[in-house]
């Protein structure tokens, strides 16, 4: 019930209900406390989330990957990228191994602050560690490379993605088209647009907006 209410984004209701549960003498378990951590993080009170982590330890429970991933994501959403990275480092020191969700969050964080080369390094480490990578992670790095005006590197990563069985989607193409349009590389842009048509990938409003904006600037 608490999880369902949290998914409806009624975070304050969840916090109130957990307090009532505790007033009945019912001790919450890790699952319940993880929901509480998540609510505090969504309310931009990651500090309270860490207080709940202290409660988990005090009760003799062991925080799990969900606890730690939620805190890492909370720090990331708050813009505290350095704090998120520190938490992951502390996790590793105490024996917790970051999973694909943890690494994916840190990868986004690194790209957000322009540390694309570090993000690529993390992606390589994930591949070596047999993590299950997904299209979103690759899209994040391609978008960051294009924003750094490293479009050739982004196109190389696209080829690498395909060789590993990942099929680009409209988000992948939009990032690349934006990168190519920034350099006014129309021939390469048309090639990607033709590819989208061949692969039956519908152009989005963003695709058209990029093209119209670039064309208007040229005129």
Report residue 130's pLDDT band, with 50, 70 and 90 as the boundaries: confident
51: pLDDT strictly greater than 80: yes
Q: Do 15 and 7 meet the contact criterion of CB atoms below 8 Å apart?
A: no
Does residue 72 form part of some domain? no
In a domain, 91, yes or no: no
Residue 119 contacts residue 141 (beta carbons within 8 Å): yes
Report yes or no on 164 lying in a domain: yes
Is 35 inside any structural domain? no
How many folded domains does the chain comprise?
1
- Single out the residue of 121, 118, 122, 181 nearest to residue 147, CA to CA: 181
H helices of 59-150, in order, are: 65-77, 81-93, 100-112, 116-128, 135-147
Whole-structure pTM value: 0.79
Of 55-69, 105-119, 121-135, 203-217, which range is least confident?
Answer: 121-135
What sign does the dihedral 80-85-93-71 (CA atoms) show?
A: positive
**Is 201 part of a structural domain of the chain?**
yes
Cα 118 from Cα 132, distance rounded (Å): 19
State the pLDDT at residue 126: 86
Domain that holds residue 184: 151-219
Specify whether the CB–CB gap between 154 and 179 falls below 8 A: yes
Cα 35 to the center of its chain, rounded Å: 19
């Amino acid at each position: 019930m608490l999880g369902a209410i949290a998914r409806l984004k009624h975070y304050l209701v969840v916090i109130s209900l957990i307090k009532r549960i505790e007033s009945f003498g019912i001790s919450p378990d890790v699952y319940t406390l993880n929901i509480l951590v998540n609510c505090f993080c969504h309310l931009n009170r990651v500090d309270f989330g860490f207080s709940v982590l202290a409660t988990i330890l005090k009760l003799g429970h062991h925080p799990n990957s969900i606890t730690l991933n939620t805190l890492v994501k909370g720090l990331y959403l708050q813009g505290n990228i350095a704090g998120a990275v520190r938490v992951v480092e502390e996790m590793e020191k105490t024996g917790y191994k970051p999973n694909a969700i943890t690494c994916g969050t840190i990868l986004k964080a690194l790209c957000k602050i322009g540390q694309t080369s570090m993000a690529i390094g993390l992606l390589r480490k994930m591949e070596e560690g047999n993590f299950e990578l997904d299209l979103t992670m690759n899209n994040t790095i391609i978008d960051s490379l294009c924003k750094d005006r490293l479009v050739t590197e982004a196109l190389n990563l696209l080829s690498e993605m395909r060789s590993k069985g990942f099929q680009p989607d409209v988000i992948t193409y939009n990032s690349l088209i934006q990168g190519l349009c920034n350099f006014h590389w129309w021939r390469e842009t048309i090639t990607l647009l033709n590819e989208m048509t061949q692969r039956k990938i519908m152009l989005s409003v963003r695709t058209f907006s990029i093209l119209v904006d670039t064309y208007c600037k040229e005129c």
